[in-house]
Structure 1
């Protein structure tokens, strides 16, 4: 297994500082580490040059910054031409990275959601009517702007078309060219715990820890994965994260599913634990 990480922009032969500890842990465990020019991949320009320093052949896992689904697919194709096969295909990455790809499989354990294709106001109006009255959270296929909660995320009442579009407009302003797919409206649910990030490899939960936004906060009760496990296994995705929170009625709910390759590791999880869970024991 090869671990691929973004290169340091100032020292392109070295890993980006954010992923350096994981790269070091992988090397210590006996795995090969390669770096790629993330900015070139993200821009879609000269992807073959961006992966030119990746040597060797075989299976690989990426641990790096988020990529749009179409950029990831081009990245995977360029690596495949060099004999390096990302364990997560382009199609699998899109299903994990974009909410419409995973929502149906987890609808029973996550807030009710509807979405649009594109950013047209009329389509958003249809979506809000379909979800029905009440509060909601607005996002796009891959990300919310929860740090701008009142301005660009929380919708107090979906029946208020003017207020919904005001939040959506601010969301578009903040996301700019990073807007992905369309608007998503998710029924607002009240949670009483910090989020928990769970890590899954081939349908098995291999690591449970805090969310990167609250690395020192842990729930007061044990996370219950019994009903969730067969759902995640049924997705057939090789490496994902699932963020969970405890709802006010004591039920664990899925906040987000994401591709594990571009999910951040909280500082309170040691890189060695991440590598051991992700890559398994070193080859002899």
Structure 2
């Protein structure tokens, strides 16, 4: 397996220090490592981004900073031009990275959600009416602004259209050019535990860790006890994803986020070796 890591922004011939331990673990397990320029990928300069990647017909896995779906598609096309196939295709990446791609399979395991294409007021109001009354959480296809909870994430009452729209406008302002897809409204649920990050390879849970935001949290979740979860994630048909779960006040475990595992951060309390062992075992 060829594992592609981001280079250091200031020293492009060197590994980004954030991923150095994982690169060492990949090499120790017998895999090859190459560098890509994440910033160049993000701005669409694919040839520049891949100039240090060998063109040798390998199957590759990316392990690095998040890319939007369009940038990942250009990444995959550029690698294909070098006779390299990403194990996670551009279509699979989009399906795991963006909520509208994964929500239909996981609807029973996650808060009820509706979304818009774009960010105009009429579409937002239609989505708000579809979800109904009560509180909700606002995000876009890939990210919330949870660190701006009261001004750009939490909608106290969907029926209050003007107040809800002011939150949507602030969210749009804060996300700026990085806003992905449109607005997503998710039914607010009272959650009581720290998040557990679960790592799935070919539809099988291979690792449960703390979430990077709470690295000292000891996971207590046994995924086999969550009804329907394993079948739902397997049904997505994705090579490598993470699912973040939190316990609701009634004891039910809920998926609060699903993401492509290539760009999901590893908590400091999980070793690089343990992650590489499951990520590259295919």
Using the size of structure 1 for normalisation, the TM-score is: 0.96
Please give the per-residue CA displacement for 1:104-149, whole angstroms capped at 9, x wherever unaligned: 0000110000000101011101100110000000000000000111
Distance in 1 (CA, whole Å) between partners of 2:43 and 2:132 is 38
Equivalent residue runs for 1:119-138 within 5 Å: 119-138=119-138
Distance of aligned partners of 1:220 and 1:235 in 2 relative to their CA distance in 1, 3 Å threshold: closer
Equivalent residue runs for 1:1-284 within 5 Å: 1-44=1-44, 46-55=45-54, 56-220=56-220, 222-223=222-223, 224-225=225-226, 227-280=228-281
Equivalent residue of 2:267, what SS? coil
Distance in 2 (CA, whole Å) between partners of 1:174 and 1:65 is 20
Distance in 2 (CA, whole Å) between partners of 1:274 and 1:165 is 41
Is contact 2:209–2:219 with CA below 8 Å preserved after alignment? Answer: no
Q: CA deviation at 1:11?
A: 1.5
Aligned structure 1 segments of 4 or more residues deviating by more than 3 angstroms: 219-223
Distance in 2 (CA, whole Å) between partners of 1:174 and 1:237 is 31
Is contact 1:194–1:218 with CA below 8 Å preserved after alignment? Answer: no
Equivalent residue of 1:241, what SS? strand
Is contact 1:193–1:219 with CA below 8 Å preserved after alignment? Answer: no
Distance of aligned partners of 1:221 and 1:70 in 2 relative to their CA distance in 1, 3 Å threshold: closer
Is contact 2:208–2:219 with CA below 8 Å preserved after alignment? Answer: no
* Structure 1 runs not aligned, ≥5 long: none
Using the size of structure 2 for normalisation, the TM-score is: 0.97
* Structure 2 runs not aligned, ≥5 long: none
Please give the per-residue CA displacement for 1:185-237, whole angstroms capped at 9, x wherever unaligned: 00000111101000011011111001111111135564534521111111100
Distance in 1 (CA, whole Å) between partners of 2:188 and 2:33 is 42
RMSD: 1.2
Is contact 1:97–1:257 with CA below 8 Å preserved after alignment? Answer: yes
Q: CA deviation at 1:172?
A: 1.0
Equivalent residue of 2:256, what SS? strand
